[in-house]
Amino acid sequence: MSAAAASAEAARAISAAQRRLLLLTALRWLPVGVTLGVTVLLPLERGLSIAEVGSILAIQGFVALALELPTGALSDTLGRRPVLAASGVLAVAASVLFLLADSYALFAVSLLLQGIFRVLDSGSLEAWFVDAVHEHDPQAEVAHSLAKAGTVLGVAIAGGALLGGLLVAWHPLSALSALVLPLIVAIGLYAGYTVLVVVLVRDTPREGAAPAHALPTMLHAARQTPRTIVDGLRRAATSRVLAGLVLVEVFWSVAMIGFETLTPVQLEGMLGGEAAAAAVFGPASAAAWGLFAVGSLLASRLSGVIGVTWTAILSRILNGAFVVVMGLSSGVVGLLIGYGLTYLAHGAAGPMHSALLHREADRSTRATVLSLNSMVSGGAYSIGLLVLTAFAGATSAATATVVAGAFSILGAACYLPALRQERSRRAALNAA
């Protein structure tokens, strides 16, 4: 095959992988949008207290802390496809159990399964895509494709949120709660996603690897998982760039508490009740996720001009600054404008951060590195949630939001090692 023909074949394969990434990303996150709010409201409707709902939701964070690295290593050793398929099956099982649950114990088991689904899912689809691209072009830049995936993610959640709201308002199953239909639709979407994962995802063969059979491969993965975890941790300990990227999550997670958890509390205080706050927060969330998609698209364009790292730095600073604006707002309009702008920057930051992480990983540790990043994010979020909600109770939600935003801006400094590396790489390419 001539060089031109080989290049054209590689381009077609990369384009096909990107289309699959975007389709699977949309189906993965659409049910999340459909059930936005239902995860809290259905347990409350079935008799749980707010404190009990908070405790079952926290289960996911504890699962992430315990299982992120092992499941990431499992994806690196067993393969992306079986891990993604298993996560889809668990998503369906967790959603069915959540739909049927009528006690604290059943809701807790459902959230436990959902936590396992999320840690299995964490990073595996991205890792598959990057593996597929680098199989055809090891030097290919994936930032633009990941930004497109971020755009699709935001559109999917925004569209799902609107669909979920319409399903609740429609309420055709009058004998059941209005909150049931969105869950039924979400179960169907998760099932469809799982089928498409099995059909569309094909693992990139590892160099020198023999054809795999299910049981021997799983046993080998179990033996290799501890070594892969150690390799991932060692890589973070010896790489200032990777350590800096992972530390960014500490600051980013605190910002997320400000614009995700504390925003409804601020709205409740401004509007005088939970029902009024929920009525405003639903459409605002859909609009915000639409802006998230726009942010991902803008980041893709901007990174081509100023570079991936500078785009990540700018997004981190703006995200934190807009959280501060939310805390300083004295009215609903100002708060929601800040909320939307925060998601705009949030959407820009995600794909750039992911692209930088992928630069620091190879085929054997890619999902482990992404899981290490998620583990730090989940741990920081859980601890920050305890601290900031207590602080908000002692002061106000607005004050806690300002503190969260100001603190998160400091995380931009953690990108400096990556910036120096990007400059060195660019200088080397120019010299060549």
387 lies in a domain? yes
* Domain boundaries, position 134: 10-203+213-431
Contact in structure between 168 and 279 (CB atoms under 8 Å): no
Q: What is the CATH number of the domain that holds 136?
A: 1.20.1250.20
Contact in structure between 23 and 145 (CB atoms under 8 Å): no
Q: What is the 3-state secondary structure (H, E, C) of 339-375?
A: HHHHHHHHHHHHHHHHHHHHHCCCCCCHHHHHHHHHH
Strands (E) in 261-336, as ranges, are none
pLDDT in tens, 120-166: 888 789 889 998 998 888 878 787 888 899 889 989 998 988 888 78
For residue 148, which of 360, 347, 366 has the smallest C-alpha distance? Answer: 347
Classify 46 as helix, strand or coil: coil
Calculate the CA 171 to chain-centre distance.
Answer: 30
Q: How many CB atoms lie within 10 A of CB 104?
A: 17
Q: 95, exposed or middle or buried, with CB in 10 Å at 0-12, 13-18, 19+?
A: buried
Rounded CA-CA distance 293/305 in Å is: 19
pTM of the model: 0.76
2 lies in a domain? no
Considering 9-13, 150-154, 192-196, the range whose residues carry the highest mean pLDDT is 192-196
5 lies in a domain? no
pLDDT in tens, 325-356: 999 998 999 999 999 999 999 999 999 999 99
Rounded CA-CA distance 233/375 in Å is: 12
84 lies in a domain? yes
For residue 206, name the pLDDT band (cuts at 50, 70, 90): low
Of the ranges 5-19, 42-56, 200-214, which one carries the lowest mean pLDDT score?
200-214
Considering 208-217, 281-290, 403-412, the range whose residues carry the highest mean pLDDT is 403-412
What is the pLDDT at residue 40? 72
For residue 61, name the pLDDT band (cuts at 50, 70, 90): confident
Of the ranges 73-77, 190-194, 198-202, 308-312, which one carries the lowest mean pLDDT score?
73-77
Contact in structure between 406 and 324 (CB atoms under 8 Å): yes
For residue 371, name the pLDDT band (cuts at 50, 70, 90): confident
4 lies in a domain? no
Question: Locate tokens 């991932």: which residue?
Answer: 232
Considering 170-184, 274-288, 402-416, the range whose residues carry the highest mean pLDDT is 402-416
What average pLDDT does the structure give for the chain? Answer: 86
Of the ranges 129-143, 192-206, 300-314, which one carries the lowest mean pLDDT score?
129-143
Number of domains in the chain: 1
102 lies in a domain? yes
Contact in structure between 284 and 336 (CB atoms under 8 Å): yes
What is the pLDDT at residue 213? 55
46 lies in a domain? yes
327 lies in a domain? yes
Contact in structure between 109 and 56 (CB atoms under 8 Å): no
Whether 197 has a pLDDT exceeding 70, the answer reads yes
Q: 3, exposed or middle or buried, with CB in 10 Å at 0-12, 13-18, 19+?
A: exposed
Rounded CA-CA distance 224/241 in Å is: 26
